Amino acid sequence: MAIFDYISSDEFRQSLEADYQEMVACFNAKGWKAVHVLAGSIVEAVLLDYILVEGYVSQEEAFKMDLGSAINLCKERKVISEKTSDLSSVIKSYRNLIHPGRLIRLNEQVDKNSAEVAKALVGIVVNEIEKQKREKYGYTAEQIVAKIQRDSTVSTIIGHIIKNINPIEVEKLLLKVLPNAYMEYLHQLNDVEFSFPVEHFPTSFSVCFRTAFEQARDEVKKKVSQNFARIIREESEQFIFAYGKLFFRAPDMRYLSSDDIEITKNYLLGRLENDVEGWMPTISGIYNYLSPDDVNKLVDPLVRVVNGDDNNLSAAAARFLKDEGWLAPQSVQAQFLNRLGAWVDNYRKKNLDNHAAKIENIREHIALPI
């Protein structure tokens, strides 16, 4: 639920979301007293959480505060506006509604009008607290994903959004929130008719992930890269395919152990065999991790595409081979030249001179002196 996506703690956020949903259900059922109780509880929890996070009082002092004290403190600190503080009077005595004392309970009168104010007040308080937290600490991982889901143009500004977020939120975004949101989208894609545009989701998720990855600390990059090696070992084929194609890039292997490099490299080269166009962005930069024995697995699928019917894809595959071969270590580059030479000979034997010329052009580019 977007209203609480600024809350970093999963458990606390889920608890607030459950209370909010119950409050809405009570309002729809005309349970005015219940609306007041739940609204008061939510507002008190949100304010006290902020007070504790900011260190305005000790934990012991916070536990002794009632809602009125929390409202007054937040008003003094300009966390909430004076107008919001005044509106909060409608729920300041919400605990009296469930007080065991007869006189205290009967002294509190609630109706639909005050319930509407109480319900609206939750949104007002949450928005003001969220604004304060965003200005101080940047967006949370959940807020960034919510922005992607709401805004089809988000890719153009994602760098600005991620720029100032807390390092803890960057790690959470990369390891959990963003992959989970994308997998949920894929899971629902064939079962749910979305009432809003979703075509931008894959591109926006990928751009967000790579932008956050580049910003992350090295220890986080290592965790994220190791997570993909784990996914290859443990997860389903569909999960590996979806995650790898969208989020992982071959240069990320620099953060892996030699064993993890091997399993990751073999997986990526295997995917290229059946989908050159889809996997070239992921595999770009793999030259650093190739051995001479790997070269044929990379060269052969790309050569076939170079001489395919799709001119744009053919040109892209040719550029890819030139870049990877030219930048490869010397022993790997030698195998590039040998394998490309074998393809040239094969095409000439079949009198496919145009095919041979394309591959010879790539070979000559790779052989250029550095």
Q: What is the pLDDT of residues 273-307, one digit of tens each?
A: 889 999 999 999 999 999 999 999 999 999 999 99
Domain termination residue (choose one: 137, 154, 177): 137
pLDDT of residue 99: 65
What Cα–Cα distance (Å) separates residue 2 from each residue in 11, 16, 20, 127, 147?
A: 15, 11, 12, 11, 10
pLDDT reading at 100 higher than 80: no
Using the predicted structure, report yes or no on whether residue 1 has a pLDDT greater than 60.
no
The reported pLDDT for the residue numbered 369 is 66
Q: Which residue has the higher pLDDT, 1 or 19?
A: 19
How far is 55 from 47, CA to CA, in rounded Å? Answer: 12
Does position 370 have pLDDT exceeding 80, yes or no? Answer: no
Contact 140, 5 (CB under 8 A): yes
Determine phi and psi for 214, rounding to 5 degrees. Answer: -65, -30
Give the mean pLDDT of the chain.
Answer: 89
Dihedral angle sign, alpha carbons of residues 238, 241, 242, 244: positive
CATH of the domain at 70: 1.20.120
Tokens for 281, please give them.
């962005």
In a domain, 39, yes or no: yes
With respect to residue 259, please indicate whether it lies within any of the assigned structural domains: no
Please determine, for residue 98, whether its predicted confidence score (pLDDT) is greater than 70.
no
- C-alpha atoms less than 13 angstroms from C-alpha of 282 in its C-beta half-sphere: 25
In a domain, residue 204? The reply is no
pLDDT per position as a tens digit, 236-275:
998 999 999 999 999 999 999 999 999 999 999 999 988 9
The 10s digit of each residue's pLDDT in 185-234 is 888 876 666 666 678 889 999 999 999 999 999 999 999 999 999 999 99
What's the confidence (pLDDT) of residue 197? 67
Q: Which two tokens stand for residue 293?
A: 């024995």
Instruction: Name the 3-class secondary structure at 65.
Output: coil
Q: Concatenate the DSSP letters of all residues of 98-124 into one string.
A: G-S-HHHHHH----HHHHHHHHHHHHH
CA-to-CA distance for 7 and 140, rounded, in angstroms? 7
Q: What total of structural domains would you count in the chain?
A: 2
Within-domain flag for 314: yes
**Domain membership flag for residue 330:** yes
Question: Which domain covers residue 328, as residue numbers?
Answer: 290-370
The mean per-residue pLDDT over the stretch 159-180 comes to 90
pLDDT per position as a tens digit, 3-46? 787 887 778 888 999 999 999 999 999 999 899 889 999 999 99
Task: Give residues with Cβ within 8 angstroms of 80, minimum separation 6.
Answer: 47, 71, 74, 88, 125, 128, 129
How many Cβ atoms sit within 10 Å of the Cβ of residue 108? 16
Q: Report if residue 26 sits inside a domain.
A: yes
Q: In terms of Cα–Cα distance, which of 370, 351, 276, 289 is closest to 319?
A: 276
Residue that is last in its domain, among 137, 164, 180: 137
Which of 261, 8, 267 has its CA nearest to residue 134? 8
Alpha-carbon dihedral of residues 129, 67, 120, 2, nearest 10 degrees? 40
Contact status, residue 359 vs residue 303, Cβ threshold 8 Å: yes
- Asked which of 85, 113, 137 is the last residue of a domain, the reply is 137
